[in-house]
Amino acid sequence: MAKETDKAKKYGAEAISVLEGLEPVRKRPGMYIGTTGIDGLHHLVWEIFDNSRDEAMGGFADRIEVVLLPNNHVRVTDNGRGIPTDIHPKTKVSALETVMTTLHAGGKFGGEDSGYKVSGGLHGVGASVVNALSIYTKAIVHRDGSVFMQEYSQGKKKANVKKVGSSKLQGTIIEFQPDEEIFESTEFNFDTIINRLKQQAYLVRGLRVTIIDARTLDEKIFKDIDDVFYATEIGFEAPSITYYFEGGLRSLIRDLNKFQKPVHDTIFAIEKNENGVGVEVALQYVDDIADRIVPFANNIYTPGGGTHITGFKTALTRLINTYAKKNNLLKESEGNFTGEDVLEGLTAVISVKLPEIQFEGQTKDKLGSTEAQGAVATVFGAGFENFLEENPDEARQIINKSVLALKARKAAKAAKDSVLRKGALEGMTLPGKLADCQTRDASESELFIVEGDSAGGSSKQGRDRRTQAVLPLKGKILNVERARIDKMLASKEVKSLVIALGTSIGDTFELTRARYHKIIIATDADVDGAHITTLLLTLFYRYFRQLIDAGYVYIAQPPLYKIKRGKEILYAYTDEEKLKIVGNNPDMEEAEPIDGEEIVEDTETEEEEVVTKKKSNKVSIQRYKGLGEMNPEELWETTMDPARRVLKQVVISDAEAANQVFETLMGNDVGPRKSFIQSHAKMAEIDF
């Protein structure tokens, strides 16, 4: 249990500052949590957890428990100081009620006597916004020898704060149930929560974080949950995981590089305060062509980067250039390293802590505090310079890695320029196999990437020529996970796709030049088709990430079955849909069979047909194994007609997780891929 200090004693109602009311939150939730989709739903967990984590960052807590309860309730417990419960001097009600029901009320605004020196919750909206967007919320506070409780619904209190018992503990318990009227879905993803909170455990040394998934347990088990501090005291069994790391960012680097081959063994790490800004940096180079920089500001992940990343990259480029020239490791004729060269193969974590922090946007995607840039450049610059001087062998390995990157960059640029020059000389001639659409309005143009000439022929005949283009690819394209641009553009199929997209590639990529705002991957529903889809997604993720972020990339979902029932033709996209239509689903009692039918399965036909005989009807089912089996009319009806087709939009909800999946599945190292396949084999749907 964290010890109470003089500052902890000062943390009373007067430390809670109030800026404005709560009314706007339910009307415009996107302004406060970014979206009402799945990301916004999980943002509620982050807001409550971050409040507990801020207690740990201040040295007031050392344990946080997050429990997913039945009916999509979430319970977050910390052993911090406990939210003050005495009367707030401005609002004239309990400080707990003020924090939970007033926007911009929290212990993060009042200067030296406020609750926190460093906090991720600059906006102070965490608890109140979660409360406003939940159909039910409950706050329980153990403080000053007593237990206090208050309940809320949609941001409004149900009763005043009341004392419900005595306690020798201290800390805060927040339980909430998201409002189904607000969110598209209220079902939390256990893995998403694990990945996020694991990062936090790395960032706060000595913090023990436990996540428990108890959603499938009987609600009766938790009937008396308010009587315990940590839910585990009840003694139930449920999937759980606990994180506790003493190594800080070094441990995080090891975890990020666990499937990589290091270029140098020693992980560089430094932690220092510069002009009131806490700076912590750790890095290691690996044998890879991609870089991974994981940035944090006040322990909040900032995928958009910001000033701390600018300071880091500037110092890194300068230092490696200086060291290479000083030690004759880079020839004058080769010029200088660019930022692109020194980043290749780099895994780095940059964490800054500021007392007054500025983010760009409520969701804190990008750091805007200018003082972070100079602080990171100074602290990292001095530390990494010493590291290079004191570790000459490892410094040489790092420089050699950058030299290879420089040479590859020049070769890739020459290859790319050659392709682009050739295109320009030929008047940007599009690939001959591309059947382009008539319109030149990219916003209504669609590109179907199909597998083989057979599917290409049907697609070209069945499409809407005005808005739909078709590009058939021959065989499986190059795996670009470990390929540079020069090798990639040497592939005829990849080069055709790059020219068709119109955006160029690499540092000359321009999203505004995209010729299609819907790029649809349409492959066969078999193993080869899935492999081709994966190869194409790897290409888009590594070299056309902006197209995915813009929402331009889709995967077509053609039907699996064509069902003829008399003169009626129906399409089923899943086995469940097929069984509902045919009416022979033993696992679903509500599926009603066709009146008077007798179902006979003929398993010897190559087309996998099931024939159903009825007095006046005949039902036959054809299993599609490829788009090439469909005639143009069928392809239009099922896969290309905007009014009836099913498309899945490709999105990246967790870039780091996506990065690791692509490295595992598409990289050169067989071990991690084998382990992944063995771990997930039971999840595979095998089509015999």
Q: How far apart are CA 160 and CA 569, in angstroms?
A: 63
Going by their DSSP bridges, the two strands 568-572 and 561-565 should be labelled as antiparallel
Give the catalytic positions in this structure. Answer: 451, 524, 526, 528
Least confident of 235-239, 329-333, 443-447: 329-333
pLDDT in the model for residue 356: 86
Average pLDDT over residues 597-612: 38
pLDDT over 70 (residue 617): no
Amino acid making up residue 190: F
Q: Please tell me the predicted confidence (pLDDT) of residue 71.
A: 95
Q: What is the mean pLDDT of residues 79-83?
A: 95
pLDDT for 660 equals 63
518 CB-near residues (< 8 Å, 6+ apart): 445, 446, 447, 552, 554, 647
* pLDDT at site 495: 87
Query: pLDDT tens for residues 523-562?
Result: 887 788 888 998 999 899 888 999 999 999 999 988 888 8
* 404 CB-near residues (< 8 Å, 6+ apart): none
**Which residues 6+ apart lie within 8 Å of 22 measured at CB?**
101, 102, 103, 128, 132, 155
Digit-coded pLDDT (tens) for 489-530 = 778 898 889 889 999 887 778 999 999 999 999 988 778 888
Q: pLDDT tens-digit profile of 624-654?
A: 877 877 889 989 988 999 998 989 999 886 5
* Percent of residues, the chain, with pLDDT higher than 70: 81
Residue 178 has pLDDT above 90, yes or no: yes
Grade residue 173 by pLDDT with cuts at 50, 70 and 90.
very high
Which amino acid belongs to residue 503? T
Average pLDDT for 80-93: 91
Q: How confident is the model at residue 614 (pLDDT cuts 50, 70, 90)?
A: very low
For residue 14 the two structure tokens come to: 């007067």
Q: Are 353 and 277 in contact (CB under 8 A)?
A: yes
**Residue bearing tokens 């974590």:** 349
pLDDT in tens, 476-500: 888 887 777 777 877 889 888 988 9
Range list of H helices, 259-391: 307-326, 339-343, 371-390
Q: Give the DSSP letter of residue 629.
A: G
pLDDT in tens, 395-423: 999 999 999 999 888 887 776 666 555 54
Mean pLDDT value of segment 11-20: 63
Percentage of residues in the chain with pLDDT exceeding 90?
53
State residue 595's pLDDT score: 35
The region of weakest confidence among 125-134, 206-215, 675-684 is: 675-684
- pLDDT-derived band at 109, boundaries 50, 70, 90: very low
Residue 609 scores a pLDDT above 50: no
158: buried, middle or exposed (CB in 10 Å: 19+, 13-18, 0-12)?
Answer: exposed
- State the pLDDT confidence band at 19, using cuts at 50, 70 and 90: very low
What SS3 string covers 353-364? ECCCCCECCCCC
What is the arithmetic mean of pLDDT over 97-110? 72
Confidence of residue 99 (pLDDT cuts 50, 70, 90): very high
Q: What is the pLDDT of residue 587?
A: 37
